[in-house]
Amino acid sequence: MLYGADYNPDQWPEEVWDEDVRLMQEAGVNIVSLGIFAWSRIQPAEDVWDFEWLDRVIGKLHAGGIAVNLATATASPPPWVSATYPETLPADESGASYWPGSRQHFAPSSPTYRRLAGELVSRIAQRYAHHPAVVMWHVGNEFGCHLPMDFSDAARDAYRVWLRARYTTVDALNDAWGTSFWSQRYGAFDEVFPPRLAPYSHNPSSMLDFRRFTSDMLLECYLLEREILVAAGATQPITTNFMGPFKPADYRRWAPHMDVIADDCYPDPANPNRVRDAAFQRDLVRSLKPGVPWLLWEQATDAVNWRPANAGKRPGALMAETAQSIGRGADGIMFFQWRQSRAGSEKFHSAMLPHAGTETRVWDAVTALGARLAALPDLPPPGRDARVALVFDWESWWGVEERDHPTRIDYLALSLEWYGALHRRGLMVDIVAPESVDDGYDLVVAPLLYLLREEGAAALERFVAGGGTLLTGPFSDIVDEHDQFRDGGFLTQLGPALGVRFEDFGAIGGTGAGGTGVGALPTRATQTGGSVTFRLGSGAYPGRLVAERVHATSADVVAEFTDGLTAGGAALTRHRHGDGEAWYVATQPVAEGLEAVVGQVVRASGVSPVVADLPRDVEAARRGDLVTLINHGDTRVDIAIEGTDAETRALVDRVRLDPQGVAFVLVPRTEIPSSASTRGRAVARHPRP
């Protein structure tokens, strides 16, 4: 288990370094990410290089038995770069420059930035590629985190090149973007600009491409550095740090270029949904490289500095959050940062070694955690532990959040709500693209498939026909990969499997999903300014966003709308297709309604939780033979579970968990046949004892 932090010795006088190494040893640190923001120290002027300090730091760490994840240091160009080469600066949508003085002030597509970054990486690689302390490479840092889009002239030029490569002819681009609308027809690629400030809505197809371009430009920066490292003979794993569900970068396209997935995760102690949201993030990053452990590359020991109010963590939360990562596939636990800064914007950010020193609650927690991690045995790699998948897709996210739609939708917030309904049931869930759905799953939940590519639709149909259970939410199968309607209406691809025909969107009045992000989602339908009701079993539940008008052509109607414009119409349908079945819900159910819908489909699919009958605040995750139990509640609980305590190696038949308490129990996988499944499809496909 890797344990450590970002280490910024360049912020400190050399006298401190020996103490750093000594205290790292005391805390159980075995790796640090070194030099992430050290460009100006390594190259103080264009023709001046200084590696001696870095040689000495790496030497001290190595002598102290601490491995190095060496940064390429390209995330924050020094002042001389911005002053000498202003063309490296990015621009906002009005074309105004972002200026230096912070970090990440570079245009990802700037050839000059790339040249200078490349020179830096090549010097670092040549010097350290074979250094025994260097066990991993950290390229850039959180690509795009402060600059989700760049509209500079460098972006303009690169965008034209990117479009030419994608479409070859300008006619193909005109077709893809539907430019006959509003006189937008292009005569040449050089007439295209990034979607800078315009009087009104930009062409949505062009916005989708600009998002793809933006993700690709950031990825190109990563790849450029990666290639230099490899060319210099580096054989260590190369990666960069992801940020979970980060809208600007389609990490599914990035993941194949990472030797290991590293992720930064900062649950907000004040967010009542933090456990759910963090679990989603960890499941998402695990699913990016199935079967391969990932690394939690940054978390905070206590408060951060960048929220409006920065609450500290409750006692035990550090262990609980760490265990959530391990249980969901992590083999490394790292922090931002080792020693709290004494200057700069992040001086109020917590660290492993607080400014107040070692006689602190945080230091005690950090050393206790290090000791506990060191005692863990080798853990099994994550396997195909999840029988449930939730479909989450960057292109759908980009497309559905464009303006001028029937209603405003916060795709991530909505995905988290649906994920929450599965997570609360204790199910292990993979987060996948529609194309990755296969018969390894029993249940697939697709909350919203606005943009559905042909291959994705085909995979979902195959999954159902082969015996799987699919639950699809509203506003799905609406557009193709160019954000254009398909011929023949909507649900044109999934309609036959769902057994329904789609007539109309039925947006509900009001402000829609509202909110600007995670946790901001209204929980009561009335907050949207309008709602509908649907009746399911003996319950009546509100729906929000839309109440679509859909017709059951061959599906059974399980629930109907009881009011609103679609009163009497189908709200929830169920359809036998091949050996499986497909459900469609024509509104976004709220709270108990979502529980009721998901509950019914989960029961029908026969999937079972990691551990049955857990108390409400106890979370369980499976990773091969390892079951991780975490008590997020405020009272002590006893859980019946038979296995081997992974830490003590003792046989157990129950574990006692204090508030925030954690247990790691080895429980060999045995598949339990589902009593609820009437079709028996899962049993046939995955023989179970």
Residues with catalytic roles: 142, 298
Size of the site for ligand GAL (CB under 6 A): 10
Query: Least distance from C-beta 6 to ligand GAL, angstroms?
Result: 6
The correct pick among 145, 260, 368, 557 for binding ligand GAL (CB under 6 A) is: 145
Query: Least distance from C-beta 293 to ligand GAL, angstroms?
Result: 21
Category of 238 on φ-ψ map: left (φ > 0), alpha (ψ -120 to 50) or beta:
beta
142 touches ligand GAL by CB under 6 A:
yes
Which tokens go with 296? 């939690």
The correct pick among 141, 152, 533, 660 for binding ligand GAL (CB under 6 A) is: 141
Which residue's beta carbon is nearest to the bound ligand GAL?
Answer: 336
From CA 426, how far away is CA 83, in angstroms rounded? 55
The residue type of 664 is F
From CA 190, how far away is CA 183, in angstroms rounded? 17
From CA 337, how far away is CA 304, in angstroms rounded? 11
From CA 630, how far away is CA 315, in angstroms rounded? 14
Residue with Cβ nearer ligand GAL (298 or 480): 298
Other C-beta atoms closer than 10 Å to the C-beta of 376 total 13
Query: Least distance from C-beta 54 to ligand GAL, angstroms?
Result: 18
Residues 232-291 that bind ligand GAL (CB under 6 A): 264, 266
417 touches ligand GAL by CB under 6 A:
no
Query: Least distance from C-beta 302 to ligand GAL, angstroms?
Result: 11
CA count, 13 A, side-chain hemisphere, 44: 6
The piece of 138-146, 269-277, 428-436, 516-524 that touches ligand GAL (CB under 6 A) is: 138-146
Residue with Cβ nearer ligand GAL (352 or 602): 352
Which tokens go with 614? 């857990």
The dihedral of CA 31, 36, 41, 44: what is its sign?
A: positive
Residue with Cβ nearer ligand GAL (342 or 616): 342
543 DSSP β-pair partners: 532, 589
Residue with Cβ nearer ligand GAL (5 or 445): 5
Query: Residue with structure tokens 């035990």?
Result: 316
Query: Least distance from C-beta 265 to ligand GAL, angstroms?
Result: 10
Query: Residue with structure tokens 């975490």?
Result: 630
Residue with Cβ nearer ligand GAL (282 or 349): 349
Residues 329-368 that bind ligand GAL (CB under 6 A): 336, 346, 349
Determine which helix (DSSP H) or strand (DSSP E) holds 653, and give its type and residue range.
strand 651-657
Query: Least distance from C-beta 241 to ligand GAL, angstroms?
Result: 6
From CA 31, how far away is CA 3, in angstroms rounded? 6
Which tokens go with 231? 């060319």
Taking a C-beta distance cutoff of 8 angstroms, is the pair 415, 390 a contact?
Answer: yes
Residue with Cβ nearer ligand GAL (264 or 302): 264
From CA 278, how far away is CA 295, in angstroms rounded? 14
The piece of 131-139, 141-149, 150-158, 481-489 that touches ligand GAL (CB under 6 A) is: 141-149
Query: Least distance from C-beta 141 to ligand GAL, angstroms?
Result: 5
Determine which helix (DSSP H) or strand (DSSP E) holds 641, and give its type and residue range.
strand 637-645
640 DSSP β-pair partners: 654
The piece of 111-119, 137-145, 311-319, 516-524 that touches ligand GAL (CB under 6 A) is: 137-145
Residues 299-318 that bind ligand GAL (CB under 6 A): 304
The piece of 139-147, 270-278, 471-479, 626-634 that touches ligand GAL (CB under 6 A) is: 139-147
Residues interacting with ligand GAL, by CB under 6 A? 141-142, 145, 264, 266, 298, 304, 336, 346, 349
